[in-house]
Structure 1
């Protein structure tokens, strides 16, 4: 199988290229922008994830003989376009929010500056990564806040596609999960892995005691024993008898969790295993995790809900042309005007306004309507807002934090954002960004609105 990512795209990207090469607009310098008009349902903030993955996929976006032969055989584009694609290398500039950063409606999460030809064919690839990964990260961040410091493990590989499983583990880790069950995520991205045994291992053995003794012998007494295959009370006693006071943890995967957790904790303590932890893994989401806050749970394992974005499998991001150079060489702002799908044209400089306590109060986008890069802080002109939430005018603004960084320059990606090291940087940046949120951001109200407004200031 080819390692090229070139055909991970939609046909119309290449047919647009074909037509643009024919009418001589393909070389026009353009600025494309990735943004979301709204947040996924119930979210009060979004989390940028997938940036490092996207940069690596753009790097590998090459049309080899296998890809060109398929396009030729199927008559997708003309011979002239096939020749152009054979030499394709992205040579433009990509700027955007750091991975792990928070975003709000209208935030210019990623911008691609290149010729129309080079930039347009990256649309599907970039959106397929950012939409999925950011949705997973947004859901995971809500679960992390609901867990209130208790660790979470991602274990949803069997509930999504095999490649999506790796991406989900990576995104959840950036958003604060402690580990994953997915080994490829560990190998490719450095995400810590975990896992011991499932119910099949218990059912394989003649007795539950045989299964426990086998697992302890193989993994040591600090392992986690699954105690809900048959009778939880009996299994708790048996786990302590087999592993002794060094038993690391017991896991519950079904039943009335609040009642079971309390009962198991009392039973473990009565048997002298006060240090044995309790982990739960039964179809959890942010709401059930929050409902367990008052119970003696020590850690959580989350599967289906996190890999499906807790009800929002895509973040709703779009990739739009917002400016291009005219034939005379000047930049011109362009924008979509159709009902309910409008966009704001022009190059944007994004900052987050902070109050005296270091809490975010607004997302401010300084818009350069001419697209020539002159937009900056304090620009005069009209102001509007997108989204809703706390008004920046309700508190004094003490500072602004720049949000955009250069990710790719002249076609070369900044190594700081790639690989396992990039994942760790994204995870650390996410912690710092979340620390800026006002307290109301963490309420799990249904139908919530963005915690801060997005404001546009046009030069």
Structure 2
């Protein structure tokens, strides 16, 4: 079995076979830079959100080949004995520079650069892309939902709709994007994300009647709990919920039906019953479009599951990991279908004096462009000589970064309708 602390076999076989060939022909120790970028945004999207960098840096720290990893490689003959000996001492000692989490990206943005020997850096390709493609996709979808919800909080509740580890990563990405809480306890334990959750329809069905179920939940959790009122008849369910908890009832949740109409009816009924402070929470196959359609309704919070953990139709960010520099010399793929631009790059974002973003300028790192008084260079050091730098932003700082970044985007760039990226990318 794979050593539980190692991430080394979370990779594709061809990374190791390339390494073996490069070790054999002497090219393995040429200094290289690999760049992570997306050639385009998913269809209909106007911006992307960088997420997963913190998880990735931790995963690189744990990219080690112990006997638990080397044994299977030897048994299956994936690589030769010389390569196995080299892998036994593998440590990434290079540099990682990239956009901090919570930053926006656009087509061609140099989201991450990995510099080291070819041998060191090529091994990280699959790990880098699997983390960033997933987390950026989830955070980008979540940010659209947050924008659609306005000031109303969103609860991430998609754990039952995805892989168990993906659920934890998705909860982290959603929180970074502005979700208020998650239902996933492991995400709460690992990342300090607030957790929430009360009861499902099964709890109501367990009891002989709805009133008994509500009374039991209130007895266990207090009057401020959230009662799920759509197991049977919603109108009767609301009556029983208020009867069980009193007008201090924290919230009701509706998980099915015409949510807009039901929210209006529920709000009127709760007010008539004296439960004017009781919140109305909606869930049930919500995405950013459904949330936007509910903005005029008396809704206090939304619970989002399936659409969140699947990237709301774009489950991958489409990022690639391309070699752009060898021994200081720019290299680039020239295929007509999949071109890339050579050279190690950086980027800055230009802003109006008012704080509105204008464009993203991508340039060769060795030839920096002049920055105006309001412009900001985007990439920052993340790893130096194989060690994480001390000032990598925290999850809370990244959350605030994204909030500020979205405020700076021109208003049309936040529309859910199809259109050009919110900011143009200019290559100097």
TM-score with structure 1 setting the length = 0.91
Secondary structure (helix, strand or coil) at the match of 2:247 reads helix
Q: Give the alignment of 1:233-312 within 5 angstroms.
A: 233-312=235-314
Superposed, 1:147-166 pairs within 5 Å as 147-166=149-168
Matched, 1:221 2:193: no
SS at 2:383's partner residue? strand
1:384-433 CA distance string (max 9 Å, x none): xxxxxxxxxxxxx7631110100000000124437xxx211211111121
Cα offset for 1:452? 1.1
Match of 2:401 in 1: 429
**1:169 pairs with one of 163, 168, 171:** 171
Q: Out of 116, 123, 126, which is 1:121 matched to?
A: 123
What is the aligned counterpart of 1:443 among 411, 415, 418? 415
| C-alpha separation in 2, matches of 1:98 and 1:348 | 15
* Distance in 2 of aligned mates of 1:337 and 1:247: 63
Match of 2:375 in 1: 400
SS at structure 2 position matched to 1:245: coil
Alignment partner for residue 343 of structure 2, among 346, 349, 355? 346
Unmatched 5+ residue regions in structure 1?
Answer: 326-330, 368-372, 380-396
- 1:453 is aligned to 424
**Secondary structure of the structure 1 residue equivalent to 2:297:** coil
Instruction: Name whichever of 425-434 and 7-16 sits farther off.
Output: 425-434
1:132 aligns with 2:107: no
Aligned to 2:388: 413
How many residues of Structure 1 are paired with residues of Structure 2 in the alignment?
A: 426
1:272-330 Cα offsets, whole Å, 9 max, x none, are 111000000110000000000010000000000010000011000000000010xxxxx
SS at match of 2:246: helix
Q: Aligned partners of 2:137, 2:130: CA distance in 1, in Å? A: 11
Moved over 6 A (4+): none
Q: Unaligned regions of 5+ residues in structure 2, if any?
A: none
Corresponding residue number in structure 2 for 1:383: none
Of 256-265 and 408-417, deviating more is 408-417
Cα shift readout 1:47-93 (whole Å, capped 9, x = no counterpart): 00000000000000000001101000000001000000000000000
Residues 188-227 of structure 1, C-alpha deviation per residue, up to 9 Å, x if partnerless? 1111110000000000001101100000000000000000
SS at match of 1:320: strand
Answer yes or no: is the 8 Å Cα contact 1:32–1:112 preserved in 2: yes
8 Å Cα contact 1:46-1:138 kept in structure 2: yes
Whether contact under 8 Å (1:348, 1:375) holds in the other structure is no
Equivalent in 20, 23, 26 of residue 21 of structure 1? 23
Task: Work out the CA distance in 2 between the residues paired with 1:316 and 1:30.
Answer: 22
Are 2:414 and 2:422, in contact at CA under 8 Å, matched by a contact in 1? no
Classify the secondary structure of the residue corresponding to 1:435: helix
- 1:26-56, CA deviations, whole angstroms, 9 ceiling, x for partnerless residues? 0000010000000112111000000000000
SS at match of 1:113: strand
1:183 counterpart residue number:
185
- Report if the CA contact (8 A) 1:157-1:165 is conserved: yes
Q: Which residue of 2 aligns with 1:101?
A: 103
Q: Secondary structure at the match of 1:297?
A: coil
What is the match of residue 90 of structure 1?
A: 92
Task: Encode CA deviations 1:224-259: one digit per residue, 9 max, x unaligned.
Answer: 000000000001011111100110000000001111
| Aligned counterparts of 1:20 and 1:122: Cα–Cα separation in 2 | 15
On the 8 A contact 1:38/1:105 being kept in 2, the answer is yes
- Whole-angstrom distance in 1 between the partners of 2:425 and 2:110: 11
Which runs of structure 2 are paired with 1:23-42 in the superposition (5 Å)? 23-42=25-44
Aligned to 1:417, the other structure's residue is in SS state: coil
